[in-house]
Amino acid sequence: MKLANPFGNFKYAAEGVLHVYRTQKHMRFHFFMLVLVLMVSLMFKQDRGETMVVLLTISLVLIAEMFNTAIEAVVDLVVQSYHPLAKFAKDIAAGAVLMATVNALTIGFILFLGGRPKSSFTTNLGIRNPDVLTVTAVGVLLLFAIVIVQKVSGGKGTFLRGGVVSGHTALGFFFATTIIFVSPNNIARAVAVLLAVLVAQSRVDAGIHTLREVLWGGLLGTGLGMAVYLLRG
């Protein structure tokens, strides 16, 4: 008996994210705002709690947009002509996206422009920088969003395989850059870079990516890693 691929469901789910981004202009705008907001949150040196609020808020908007797209697809499949209930279902789904967006804008205004207590304000001026785990999590999410944009813009590959930029290579070099910034051990730094290079080589040897695509991935991961840790201070 052949066992089911445990990563099969994840693959299909990931392709769903890619399809929504490819076909829905609102989703592309939300991804652009995702990248912008996360970069701004790093510049504001937000602590772990504030970053979690930002991530939860962004996730709600993206999830609402995906449900809206799914509902529209099902309605169009079932209803071939105008029906008031079909319009009602689509309007409700669109309303959910609107509410999530308004909520995100409100939270963003409070976090970024609403002011903070003096102690928190001085903390965010650099007395205490956000912890490494928070910065790394934000960086990985940024990398995830940028790789999706690159794959769709290039019109090549799927979420986990192929594309104009090697996502695996980008992730490998991002973590290598992270270790270079946070570890004082030069051996650990050298091993991290070596592992990232091996990941890149494996993508070329397997015929999944060209040398140019893994080079772009390496530059993306390294550049983003440097950016987020320099913003962290």
Backbone dihedral angles phi then psi of residue 198, each to the nearest 5 degrees = -65, -40
Distance CA 38, CA 34 (A): 6
- The structure tokens listed for 127 are 């007395």
- pTM comes to 0.67
2 against 133, higher pLDDT = 133
202 against 148, higher pLDDT = 202
Active site residues: 65
Supply the pLDDT for residue 177: 93
Task: Check the CA dihedral 104-105-106-111 and report its sign.
Answer: positive
User: Tens digits of per-residue pLDDT, 184-229?
Assistant: 888 989 999 999 999 999 888 888 888 888 999 999 999 999 988 8
Distance CA 60, CA 189 (A): 37
